Chain A
Amino acid sequence: MTRSFQTSGAPHMPQRTTVAKVMLQVLLALTPGLLAYTWFFGPGILVQVILSTVFALLFEFLMLRARGKPLKPFINDYSAVVTAVLFALCIPPLAPWWISCIAMLFAIVFAKHLYGGLGQNVFNPAMVAYVVVLISFPQAITNWLPPLALAQHSFGLADTLVTIFTGQVPFAGGWDAVTQATPLDTLKTGVDAGRMVPEIRNSPLFGDFGGKGWEWIANWFALGGFYLLYKRVISWQVPVAVIGSVLLLSLPFWLVDPDSNPFPLQHVFSGAIVLAAFFIATDPVSGCVSDRGRLIFGAGVGIITLVIRRWGGYPDGVAFAVLLMNMAAPLIDRYTRPRMYGE
């Protein structure tokens, strides 16, 4: 008795993972850092995450429609959510709501879909978004808060919402009374003014290595990063190259002149280095594919960040460094093809 069967290609067993699972793992790995951020700086970051996620999904929906792509698999791949969360982690927790709107417009519409959608973008969408608003709206993007422990006014959820949606601070004295320069800012302006690093570091804004609060958030991000390494979502080459190059390059400067150069670990734990090392520079789409290529890519991010911090006009340069290396990635790939079996 003959029986017929449906055919389908190998493998004839469930595949290991899906794009959605990969993205969810990234989101899960970001959670400890996100919670630490909330712990140190109040609920503003959570509001920003929700805002940018909503805008990101909205633009994703519109673009998928416009391009005639199926909605379900692409909305459910969570790639837009990852972009949104990474962007939210880059901006001040009290940034006005329209910042996320404009940023996600650029991230999803321009950086992602106009380049061909998921997997086709040359530049990291979150970094494109951040750089667009950083350059276009410097005022709104530099209103940073001190850690709750140092703040005169503590922002509850209601105060946060009012500030984000009205742009007005519900406390006497307005923005000036509540915002504070970031540790990296303080450092840059201090050094530029001729003050010495150990003296600047006496400010209560600084902790053991980086900024107070910030260094702990970095630790939690690193923890999430180790989870991704363990789950083999990211490879070790990029984080090691980013952090290693920052340490190696800042060491001689610090040894020669410790008064005007921060010590290497301070560089690592300030700003977005740890976040970038594990979550941003590891973006596979806009990064390199071979192991050697990833080492070069990561080192490039570390070096350009330090150059911008030291000689550039911005206190931190991670976003610019990532975008510049995105441009270089295809060329690096071209020259770092790994050896094949038997070659």
Chain B
Amino acid sequence: MTSSQQVERAKEAGNRTHHFHGGLRLRHNKKISCMDPVIQPPLPELLVVPLLQHAGDIAEPLVRVGDAILKGQQIGQCQPCAAVHSPSSGTVEAIEERPMSHPSGQPGLCVVIRPDGREKWCKLKPLSNWLDASPDSLIEHMQNCGLAGLGGAVFPTHAKMRDGRNRNTHTLILNGVECEPYISCDEMLMRERPDEIILGARVLRRTLGAERVIIAIEDQMGAVEKALTDSSEYADSKNISVVKVPTIYPEGGERQLIQVLTGLEVPATGRPSDLGLICQNVATAAAVAEAVTQGKPLIERYVTVTGNGITHPRNFMALFGTPVSHLVDQCGGYSDDVARLVVGGPMMGYPLDSDDAPVVKASNCVLALTIADITAPQPEMPCIRCGECARVCPAMLLPQQLHLQIKNELWEPAQTYGLSACIECGCCDFVCPSHIPLVDWFRFGKGQLLKRTLESEAAELARQRFENREARLLSVKQERAKKMLRRKQVLKDKVTQQDRIRASIQRAENKGKENSHNQDKGAPGDT
């Protein structure tokens, strides 16, 4: 299929569902956190807002220690990335390294705010006439409001939209597929705030210049479908459809969802926009709606606090910077047998070593697990090449081969076997009978590949620099040689001229001598 044919086929997205390779059917465990409506917890004593919220550069702080700040005021700036805003009004107590919610477990630069409890907003700039606004101004507004993908990857929304805007996007896909067990924040959001999601979808669609919007939800989210289709915004909107897809992990992955909706695969080295598609999380759409109608920057999100290690699991609308411990307290604390604290789901989540880590843009779920939920770490056995990992891999890779290649540092084969296409979903880890931490190996391998690429780029740069220098030196040398030659020529010319002068003088002298001689002889004609 040519790429234009693929784009044509992608326009039929959602008409019927397709399969993706591999994946797992897991127990959902979502109900326990969906029983109560979402509440806003009371303000914590301190809000710790990390200046690094997503992959990329750390934002630069715009405030100083002791500054009085207002809710929604921008406190961090980072040109290509999304802005960081203050979640509440109060004073900046410190700007220092603190534990932040990050897979690395490393501390990072955070703005520590002591809220004054008045929740006084800064002056907000809504774009209430968004229907008349140009796409570029909408995109800029999204960047100023600090919008980023709330599905987990926190990719800056304005960057994705700009890409989609430049690529003739025909369909916007809103991702409401929350395939990891336990997590229910998107489900609750869709149930409670369907109007905002659909309004956000319309703004995003207009920004992209797309025709259609598909809201993809899981087939078991009955209440969600009803909430979305019953909403008044939905009734007023054309070309927005809700599509149910079967619940198979990791269907919430962008590439997997696109495959399920269209039957097409996003090119390995490409992006969804190659097919004329853009994916955004439903929570991002809701944040877009708030940013446009109220001018509200992104300072809070729905967070699920759940697991058997929590007394009363539920969902919160939590300000960024709220410590995890504060939310757990609001849930009635931990159960006695709590053993592990995880940010995210059980498949891709990363563990926290302390619950004073803050809620950030990426935190969709705080999962507290008991000893019974997790097995004691089992000894890692050698790979028996059973191939179960390849059978469940949604990227259609051969994890056991990749593992061997990384272990033996065979980087070129690892690249041809598609290491960089791994989406780190953890399906292979889950089914591996030898309990090899495959995804850890793949992360390490990807890092090494990246390092090698950077190194080879640097080497290439150095080579070029060297060659340029050589060329420059050569040209200088040649120039000098030429100059020398010229000078020699000139010198030679001078010499010859002098010779000639001397010769003519000589000649003249000779002549003179001859004449005087003749004179001496007494030539008759001279007198």
Contacts and interface: CB of A to CB of B under 8 A. Distances in A.
Interface of A: 1-19, 21-22, 70, 73-74, 77, 79, 117-120, 232-233, 235, 284-285, 287, 289-290, 333, 337-343
Interface in B243-277: 255, 259, 265-270
Contacts of B269: 342
B340 A5 contact: yes
A7 B352 contact: yes
Interface of B: 21, 105, 181, 255, 259, 265-270, 325, 334, 338-342, 346-356, 367, 369, 373-375, 377-379, 381-388, 390-391, 394-398, 400-401, 416-418, 421, 426, 429-435, 437, 439-440
Given A15-B435, A338-B398, A342-B270, A118 B382 contact: yes
Contact of A341 (B21, B325, B384, B398): B21
A70 B379 CA distance: 10
A33 B383 CA distance: 28
A12 B369 contact: yes
B382 A6 contact: no
A290 B389 CA distance: 11
Binding site of A, secondary structure by majority: helix, strand, loop or mixed?
A: loop
Contacts of B437: 9
A12 B349 contact: yes
Nearest to B393: A341
Given A341-B395, A341-B396, A342-B421, A3 B348 contact: no
23 contacts: A2-B354, A3-B334, A6-B351, A9-B429, A10-B349, A10-B350, A11-B429, A11-B430, A12-B340, A12-B349, A13-B181, A15-B378, A15-B432, A16-B431, A70-B379, A285-B385, A338-B390, A340-B268, A341-B265, A341-B395, A342-B255, A342-B270, A343-B418
Given A2-B356, A13-B373, A17-B431, 16 more contacts: A1-B325, A9-B429, A9-B439, A9-B440, A12-B369, A14-B374, A16-B433, A19-B433, A21-B433, A119-B434, A287-B385, A290-B390, A337-B416, A341-B21, A342-B421, A343-B268
A22 B386 contact: yes
Nearest to B26: A13
B387 to A, nearest CB: 5
Contacts of A1: 325
A289 B394 CA distance: 17
A290 B386 CA distance: 10
Contacts of B259: 341
B260 to A, nearest CB: 13
A117 B379 contact: no
Contact of A338 (B267, B396, B429): B396
Contacts of A333: 401
Contacts of A7: 105, 340, 351-353
B384 A8 contact: no
